[in-house]
Amino acid sequence: MSSMSDFDAPTKPAWVGAIVPVVMVLGAAGLYWIMTSGNGDDGNGSGPHPSHPAKGKLVEGRTYYLFASEIELYSTNFENESWDLGDGGPDIFYRLLWQGIEVFESKTRSDSLIADWSGLEVELDWSDLLGKNLSPDEVIKGARVRADSKGSVLIKVEDNDVADNDEAGSVEISLKDLRVGANEFEYKKASDSAIRRITLRALPVDSSLQDLIAIMR
């Protein structure tokens, strides 16, 4: 029996050798896509999160951070008197109540008719947190409230004085009227309130820090 020599073996078409590297590259790319997609990690170790920042009305049953980013008072209190002796302005802070329970108290902003808060534990801009490996709970300073179409929050604003705090007024805000992001409310001066304007921020608790930064921009 004769054996087949190297000269007798069938030769492979030239295109076979050319296509093998292409197949290997495509296979490696596909494997990388499978490994990196679908895990929902936002790069901050906070696990799954929406692809885009949540928008629109608050979703029933979902939990949100709530905080006032700005409160403006009228130039005199609701009795039309100066806030402090001389020309000093009010030292503004607020308390947020949900279901009749105080769930948050802000820091005081001294001598100002317009007080603002970033909603962060430290005095930073939200943009300073870009790329940081932090969870929202570590950096956000605000109330945690569950959305309920029949529920509301009460914001009590006070002037922080050494002897005794003076009430600046209070407002009740229905949760069904809130949207994700900034919510601005304006008020006329009343016999029991000198609040001119409040900007209340609502941020979904289960979003990534990067998505929350995008909402705050």
Q: What is the CATH number of domain 63-216?
A: 2.60.40.150
Most distant CA pair in the chain: distance in Å?
120
Both structure tokens of 186: 């304006």
Cβ atoms of 167 and 154 closer than 8 Å:
no
- In tens digits, what is the pLDDT along the chain, a chain of 217 residues? 555 455 455 555 655 565 655 556 555 555 444 444 444 444 333 344 444 456 799 999 999 999 999 999 999 999 999 998 778 899 999 999 999 999 999 999 999 999 999 887 666 566 656 666 666 667 788 999 999 999 999 999 999 987 778 999 999 999 999 999 999 999 999 999 999 999 999 999 987 777 777 777 6
Question: What's the pTM value of the predicted model, to 2 decimals?
Answer: 0.71
- Give Rg (Cα) of the chain: 29
Scored b (16 or more CB within 10 A) or e, 63-95 reads: ebbbbbbbbbbbeebbeeeebeeeeebbbbbbb
Query: Per-domain residue ranges for the chain?
Result: 63-216
Number of residues that make up the chain: 217
